[in-house]
């Protein structure tokens, strides 16, 4: 498993993630009503909701892939609008359908992400370990477009895990994973949590909710409702 | 009972042919399902309209082609015509040989793969029901060329003042060539299919390519037998008989040879019979599943092409070119925004192929030809064509970065920095080649424009920034997050052309020594405007804080 994954901080970090009145409206359609959300370091929160309830929109707005209509996002105290680059150094996102460059092999994708995040030091050992853990070592020099759907999802996960992060956002990470892959992911997330990373993931998988969630959030038609804390996280 | 497989194959193929035909008819708003009288009249109108339209276009081309006949005077028009007909036959033949040998001549779609290839149909039944549509598609252009050659011969034969009195004879000249060439074209088509089927059966062995090689030699020999005596007049005596037979046969297409129309047509039909015999022999062990395997991508590309999905075709071809995987020894320790340069160089290197070499070569020729033509409208048209050529390739990397929005956007690097890197990487080789062309022109051409040494690089940079900003402008983060990218549009292209053209137009100001200062000032100003516009569009897309001019160049 990957070792050191947290970002070193010079100042005390109040919250890994804080959103204040975060909302999104698409041409007259309110996809997300104002959301106030806080996640502490070392906390794992599962986002639950039916298809179309706004889970992906919330994650996209938190990571500013889609600029929110109203509200504020703070990652480790850094405002995404005012101090975006500093906030992004702490944030990693794993999409539900990862996309890759046609011309880059899996290994080169990992190297590119590590290099862009200024974390090439110790990259080779880290990448080798992750690729071996997730069963992609033998196909590391293949182009991801030749991978199966599950393998592509695994590589997408590795792109989120190869770099240090204090806040990890995952959108339906187990949707195309086999049992072994899900098990590995759970182990990896537990390690990240223990290292102090905050994790917010959307999932329909009851295993993830029951086994590792500290809290479960319910999204219904764009409204966020806090569910009762689970016991699985201990 | 015995005809059942034939009926099943016929039904499947017929359905596909009808669907293809309906697609082409839909382009001219004709619906074959509509059984009204007005629809029948509309069909009649279409037939008359396109007959007249094609006739006029072919006559126009024939008149333009007449210039070629004048160039090779005193060679008789019939000899030139027969020579051109031989070149047409040979070109079509060579094209078909390459196409059918490279992969199976029978192209199966995914639908056929499941419905047809898994059934125990006799192979010959499939082959003999498959050739008609591809033949007709290939025949269309061939017939048009034959008609044009016939009309050109008519143009050369009749006095231009009395052309109207020879109208029917003129039309007959065109139709005669097309009609006589028909069986010969079919024979060539079927023979190349036979060679293709043989190659498919023996794929991987040298033997597979022997018939195709033989056909290539035959086509080249035929060409030599006609061209050699016409231009150089030297031929071994043993080949004289063959050469004279061939030229006589070709002249007969124009009513000048020693064979009558009936004899020529009969000879064509005999060749058709022979070619079908070859096809019958070659299709004995035809494997539809093997053919489906080979033609899967070709069928997909044909489908995409039909609906103008150029980006999908490009992606598919790129995947094919890249293969399974690669490893690179080029791994510099470039971090943060420099990582984009490493990635971009890898991408550019792996996409580098014949198309890119061609583009660079054409860029070199463009710069030299602009120097040759001088600063005038002819040179400006050259510049416009050049920007048109570079339009897609210059923004390809940026487009790919945008399509991976969830990956690129989460990196702690300002979007303006990586977008700029992705624009500059494909521009750099073009810039180098353009400068080589300019230096060459200055060294060897007495008419070379030295101002182009500055205006070309500045103009190219501005053009790339204009194309880039249009690409960014046309995209929305909501769509990019789903992986959907719009390509740059007409506005970007027009602005890019403007950036390269305006400094050249400014050079026309009749104020010697001052005009080049104005030109340079305009080029620099356009660069600044393009650059700030590009940054503004990036800011609009990402809602990022405004980056300072200097911060973009800091490490």
Best residue of A72, A78, A81, A108 to probe chain B, by most B CBs closer than 10 Å:
A108
What is the ipTM metric for this complex?
0.85
Residue A8 pLDDT more than 60? no
Highest mean pLDDT: which range of A12-16, B65-69, B250-254: B250-254
Chain A positions touching B542 (Cβ under 8 A) are 64, 67
Which residue is closest to B329 within chain A, CA to CA? A108
Taking only the tens place, the pLDDT of each residue in B197-240 is 999 999 888 889 999 999 999 999 988 888 877 666 666 777 77
In angstroms, the separation between the Cα of residue B414 and the nearest Cα of chain A is 7
Q: What is the DSSP letter of B228?
A: I
pLDDT cut 90: percent of chain B above it: 43
Contact A65/B410, CB-based, under 8 Å?
yes
Chain B positions touching A99 (Cβ under 8 A) are 403-404, 406-407, 483
The pLDDT score that the predictor gives to residue B195 is 95
User: Range with the lowest mean pLDDT among A183-187, B1-5, B252-256?
Assistant: B1-5
Nearest to A65 among B347, B351, B405 (CB): B405
Strands A78-79 and A223-226: what pairing?
unpaired
Contact B406/A95, CB-based, under 8 Å?
yes
The pLDDT score that the predictor gives to residue A229 is 55
Average pLDDT on A187-210 reads 85
The pLDDT score that the predictor gives to residue B524 is 94
Does the CB of A96 have a partner CB in chain B at under 8 Å?
A: no
Q: A–B: how many Cβ contacts below 8 A? A: 118
Nearest to A66 among B326, B331, B481 (CB): B481
What is the distance, to the nearest Å, from the Cα of residue B233 to the centroid of all Cα atoms in its chain? 36
Taking only the tens place, the pLDDT of each residue in B352-367 is 888 889 889 999 998 8
Banded pLDDT at A92 (limits 50, 70, 90): very high
Comparing CA positions, the residue from B369, B450, B414 lying closest to residue B545 is: B414
In angstroms, the separation between the Cα of residue B529 and the nearest Cα of chain A is 26
Distance between CA atoms of A166 and A198, rounded to whole angstroms? 6
**What is the full DSSP assignment across B231-282?**
II----HHHHHHHHHHHHHHHHTTT-SSS-HHHHHHHHHHHHHHHHHHHHHH
Which residue is closest to B321 within chain A, CA to CA? A103
Best residue of B314, B318, B407, B426 to probe chain A, by most A CBs closer than 10 Å:
B407
Alpha-carbon distances of B91 from A31, B188, B353, B479, rounded to whole Å: 60, 11, 25, 46
Q: Which two tokens stand for residue B136?
A: 């007709």
Nearest to B478 among A66, A103, A139 (CB): A66
What is the distance, to the nearest Å, from the Cα of residue B215 to the centroid of all Cα atoms in its chain? 25
Is the pTM higher than 0.80? The answer reads no
Contact A142/B325, CB-based, under 8 Å?
yes
Chain A positions touching B346 (Cβ under 8 A) are 103-104, 108
Please give the helix or strand (H or E) that residue A91 lies within, else none: strand A91-94
Average pLDDT on A110-118 reads 93
């Amino acid at each position: 498993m990957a070792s050191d994954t947290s970002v070193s901080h010079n100042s005390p970090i109040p919250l890994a993630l804080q959103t204040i009145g975060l909302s999104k409206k698409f041409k007259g359609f309110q996809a997300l009503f104002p959301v106030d959300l806080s996640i502490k370091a070392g906390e794992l929160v599962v986002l639950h909701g039916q298809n179309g309830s706004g889970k992906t929109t919330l994650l996209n707005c938190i990571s500013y892939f889609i600029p929110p209509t109203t509200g504020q996002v703070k990652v480790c105290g850094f405002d995404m609008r005012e101090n975006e680059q500093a906030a992004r150094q702490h944030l990693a996102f794993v999409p539900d359908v990862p996309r890759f460059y046609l011309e880059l092999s899996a290994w080169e994708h990992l190297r590119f992400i590590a290099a862009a995040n200024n974390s090439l030091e110790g990259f080779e050992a880290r990448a080798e370990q992750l690729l071996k853990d997730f069963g992609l070592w033998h196909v590391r020099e293949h182009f991801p477009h030749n991978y199966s759907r599950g393998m592509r999802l695994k590589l997408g996960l590795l792109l989120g895990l190869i770099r240090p992060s204090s806040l990890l956002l995952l959108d339906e990470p187990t949707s195309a994973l086999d049992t072994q892959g899900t098990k590995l992911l759970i182990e990896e997330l537990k390690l990240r949590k223990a290292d102090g990373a905050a994790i917010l993931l959307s999932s329909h998988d009851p295993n993830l909710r029951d086994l590792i969630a500290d809290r479960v959030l319910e999204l219904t038609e764009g409204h966020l409702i806090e569910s009762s804390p689970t016991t699985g996280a201990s | 009972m015995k005809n059942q497989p034939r009926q099943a194959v016929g039904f499947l193929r017929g359905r596909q042919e009808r669907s293809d035909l309906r697609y082409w008819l839909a382009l001219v708003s004709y619906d074959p399902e509509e059984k009204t009288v007005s629809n029948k009249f509309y069909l009649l109108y279409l037939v008359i309209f396109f007959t007249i339209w094609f006739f006029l276009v072919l006559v126009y081309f024939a008149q333009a082609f007449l210039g070629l006949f004048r160039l090779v005077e005193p060679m008789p028009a019939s000899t030139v015509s027969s020579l051109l007909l031989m070149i047409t036959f040979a070109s079509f033949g060579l094209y078909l040989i390459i196409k059918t040998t490279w992969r199976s001549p029978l192209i199966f779609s995914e639908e056929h793969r499941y419905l047809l290839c898994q059934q125990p149909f006799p192979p010959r039944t499939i082959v003999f029901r498959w050739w008609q549509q591809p033949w007709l598609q290939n025949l269309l252009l061939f017939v048009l060329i034959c008609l044009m050659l016939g009309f050109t011969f008519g143009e050369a034969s009749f006095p231009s003042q009395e052309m109207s009195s020879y109208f029917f004879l003129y039309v007959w000249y065109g139709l005669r060539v097309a009609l006589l060439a028909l069986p010969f074209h079919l024979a060539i088509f079927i023979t190349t299919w036979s060679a293709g089927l043989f190659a498919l059966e023996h794929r991987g062995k040298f033997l597979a390519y022997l018939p195709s090689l033989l056909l290539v030699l035959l086509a080249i020999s035929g060409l030599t037998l006609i061209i050699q005596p016409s231009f150089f007049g030297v031929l071994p005596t043993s080949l004289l008989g063959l050469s004279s037979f061939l030229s006589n046969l070709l002249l007969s297409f124009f009513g000048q040879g020693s064979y009558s129309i009936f004899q020529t047509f009969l000879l064509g039909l005999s060749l058709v019979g022979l070619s079908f015999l070859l096809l019958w022999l070659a299709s004995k062990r035809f494997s539809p599943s093997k053919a489906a395997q080979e033609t899967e991508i070709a069928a997909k590309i044909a489908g995409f092409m039909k609906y103008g999905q150029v980006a999908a075709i490009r992606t598919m071809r790129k995947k094919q070119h890249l293969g399974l995987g690669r490893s690179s020894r080029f791994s510099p320790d470039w971090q943060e925004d420099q990582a984009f340069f490493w990635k971009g160089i890898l991408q550019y290197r792996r996409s580098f192929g014949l198309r890119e070499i061609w583009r660079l070569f054409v860029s070199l020729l463009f710069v030299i030809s602009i120097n040759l033509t001088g600063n005038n409208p002819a040179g400006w048209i050259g510049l416009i064509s050049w920007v048109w050529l570079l339009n897609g390739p210059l923004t390809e990397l940026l487009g790919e970065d945008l399509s991976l929005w969830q990956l690129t956007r989460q990196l702690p690097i300002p979007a303006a920095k990586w977008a700029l890197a992705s624009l500059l990487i494909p521009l750099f080789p073009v810039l180098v080649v353009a400068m080589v062309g300019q230096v060459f022109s200055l060294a060897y051409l007495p008419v070379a424009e030295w101002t182009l040494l500055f205006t070309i690089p500045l103009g190219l940079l501005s053009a790339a920034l204009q194309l880039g900003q249009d690409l960014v402008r046309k995209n929305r983060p909501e769509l990019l997050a789903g992986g959907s990218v719009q390509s740059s549009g007409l506005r970007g292209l027009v602005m890019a052309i403007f950036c390269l053209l305006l400094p050249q137009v400014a050079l026309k100001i009749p104020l010697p020594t001052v005009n080049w200062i104005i030109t340079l000032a305009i080029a620099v100003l356009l660069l600044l405007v393009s650059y700030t516009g590009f940054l503004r569009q990036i800011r609009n897309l990402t809602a990022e804080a405004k980056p300072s001019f200097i911060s973009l160049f800091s490490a």
